[in-house]
Amino acid sequence: MARWLWRNTVTPFLDCCDEDSVEMPDWDQETVRELTQHWARAELLQDQVFKLADWLEAAPEAHFTELLDFIESRRDAYGHGTEQRAQAAPVGPA
């Protein structure tokens, strides 16, 4: 998901935005083959992001907490600090 947000997926289908000026490629076999591979990668990444979104929406408070715990465990494993995150405010009406 972060790669998509930062436009760093290495596929033109997800890394370009409306503000980019894109030159149309030649439509030879090699270009079509390459774009087909990029499209397959873009679909895979989109599917993963959409599945994550569906999972988060199914139980926002519990799943978001689980996601943050997972991210923090990975940060600690890679030596990016051990600072504690603040307790999240309850989700939903008070």
Tokens coding 28: 């030879």
CA dist 30 and 82 (Å) reads 48
* pTM score of the predicted model: 0.61
Sequence letter at residue 49: V
Q: Are 41 and 9 in contact (CB under 8 A)?
A: yes
Q: Count the helix, strand and coil residues of the chain and give each as a percent rounded to the nearest 5.
A: 60, 0, 40
pLDDT tens digits, one per residue of 58-68: 999 999 999 99
Q: Helix or strand or coil: residue 26?
A: coil
pLDDT tens digits, one per residue of 39-78: 999 999 999 989 999 999 999 999 999 999 988 888 877 7
